[in-house]
A and B are shown apart, each in its own frame.
Chain A
Amino acid sequence: MILEFSRIKLSEKMERINAIKTIANQIDDELVVCNIGFPSRELYQVKDSPNHFYMLGSMGMASSIGLGLAIAQARKVIVFDGDGSVLMNLGSLVTIYNQAPENLILVVIDNECYGSTGSQCTYASTVDLGEVAQSIGFKNNFKFSESGEINFQPVLEAEGPIFVHLKVKAGNADVPIIDMTPEEIISRFMKEIKEKEIK
């Protein structure tokens, strides 16, 4: 009985903002590309850093921006992507697999819906995006689907490209919009990259 209870309790998913916060608090020097809409607003609310690039448009491009960044420079890149956005640019997984950047971690925050536009369902409820990544050939795959602490250390220690499937609850936190201009976001980010360039 007790076991059953704890199983039920454990299988409850996290809220996206808490998942983002838990991971953001475990990373330090990594560059972060964050998806359009509420994910960027939530990250900005829980932790802001010059290491963050917040997307304000171009749905679907998070994993591609992350790939280009990972190829161009040596620092580790973490992408916070969404299930709907990955589905819009599924070819990106094939390109990432083929280019195989060791310094790229793709975290797909999967709430099985287009959360930022009112939680309309995506096909991620019937198609397992982690299995899609595996079938493409991704060797290092992680899945977090239950509430409780996400231990991100093994992900940070694995060799990229890494696919992280992060199952979360639908719904957005009550957070304000990002009060930085696009130019402020990109120039701060590029300055940070340039100043701390690893040769």
Chain B
Amino acid sequence: MDSTQAVYQALKEAGINFIVSIPCVNLSKLLEMVECDSKITHVPVTREEEGFGIAAGAYMGGMKPAILMQNSGLGNSVNVLASLYQLYKIPILMVMSHRGTEGEFMSAQIPMGNATPRVLESLELPYFKPSTPEKALKDIKKAWEISESKGVPVGILLEITFW
């Protein structure tokens, strides 16, 4: 199974219909598929934090939101996750291309790559780290179930070797 196809299919099966995004090279195929899907509202944003704000509004308006971003975008969004999402118990699926992991060729990605799991842990946000497309298909659906039922943002970390 193709990795991008697995993530896309899981988002569809989970019922995600509102996506905000900032690109990562590893997400480019997925972003094209999302953009072409007439059943998903896709809003490209200027900064991940802004994307979280838009997705929260969309959730209040009845949508099921996800954000597609590089893990560096998590660093841009810590305050909105704590003082909007956690405060009001708003769900969102955070699909992250996790750079700075095994096989990384850019040294600049390493510090945020290392910090990413601990940033999520310090915010007490659950996350999954599927290593194969088959696991991603399962984990993403499970992640949205947890997110929606508990009102908590849930992360999906997709390391370099996943793609």
A and B together in one complex:
yes
Q: Is A161 an interface residue (CB 8 A)?
A: no
How far in angstroms is the closest Cβ of chain A from B40? 12
Interface majority SS (helix, strand, loop, mixed), chain A = helix
Q: What's the Cα separation between A70 and B59 when bound, in Å?
A: 11
Q: Is the CB of A73 within 8 A of B87?
A: no
Q: Is A4 an interface residue (CB 8 A)?
A: no
Q: Is the CB of A57 within 8 A of B90?
A: no
Q: Is the CB of B46 within 8 A of A65?
A: no
* Number of A residues, CB within 8 Å of B: 36
Q: Is B88 an interface residue (CB 8 A)?
A: yes
Interface size class of B (residues with CB under 8 A): 20 to 34
- Assess A95 versus B58: contact at CB under 8 Å? Given A61-B53, A64-B50, A89-B50: no
Q: Is A32 an interface residue (CB 8 A)?
A: no
Q: Is the CB of A99 within 8 A of B56?
A: no
Q: Is the CB of B53 within 8 A of A193?
A: no
Q: What's the Cα separation between A91 and B82 when bound, in Å?
A: 21
Q: Which of B50, B51, B61, B90 contacts A73 (CB 8 A)?
A: B61
Contacts of A61 in B (CB 8 A): 49-50, 52-53, 56, 80, 84
Contacts of A193 in B (CB 8 A): 60-62
Q: Which of B46, B60, B83 contacts A186 (CB 8 A)?
A: B60
How far in angstroms is the closest Cβ of chain A from B133? 30
Contacts of A190 in B (CB 8 A): 60
Q: Is the CB of B54 within 8 A of A67?
A: yes
Q: Quick one: which of A55-70 are within 8 Å of B by CB?
A: 55-70
Q: Is B45 an interface residue (CB 8 A)?
A: yes
Q: Is B79 an interface residue (CB 8 A)?
A: yes
Contacts of B61 in A (CB 8 A): 68-73, 193
- Assess A71 versus B41: contact at CB under 8 Å? Given A58-B83, A65-B56: yes
Contacts of B79 in A (CB 8 A): 57-59
Q: Is A92 an interface residue (CB 8 A)?
A: yes
Contacts of A64 in B (CB 8 A): 50-54, 56-57
Per-residue interface assignment for chain B, residues 38 to 75, with 1 indicating a CB less than 8 Å from any chain A CB and 0 otherwise: 00010111110111111111111111010000000000
Q: Quick one: which of A77-118 are within 8 Å of B by CB?
A: 89, 91-92, 94-95, 99
How far in angstroms is the closest Cβ of chain B from A167? 25
Q: Is the CB of B43 within 8 A of A183?
A: no
Q: What's the Cα separation between A16 and B46 when bound, in Å?
A: 30
| B residues in contact (CB < 8 Å) with A | 18, 41, 43-47, 49-63, 65, 79-80, 82-84, 87-90
| A residues in contact (CB < 8 Å) with B | 33, 53, 55-73, 89, 91-92, 94-95, 99, 182-183, 185-186, 189-190, 193-194, 197
User: What are 11 sample pairs from A and B whose C-beta atoms fall under 8 A apart?
Assistant: A33-B57, A57-B82, A58-B80, A58-B83, A61-B50, A61-B80, A67-B53, A72-B58, A72-B61, A73-B61, A95-B50
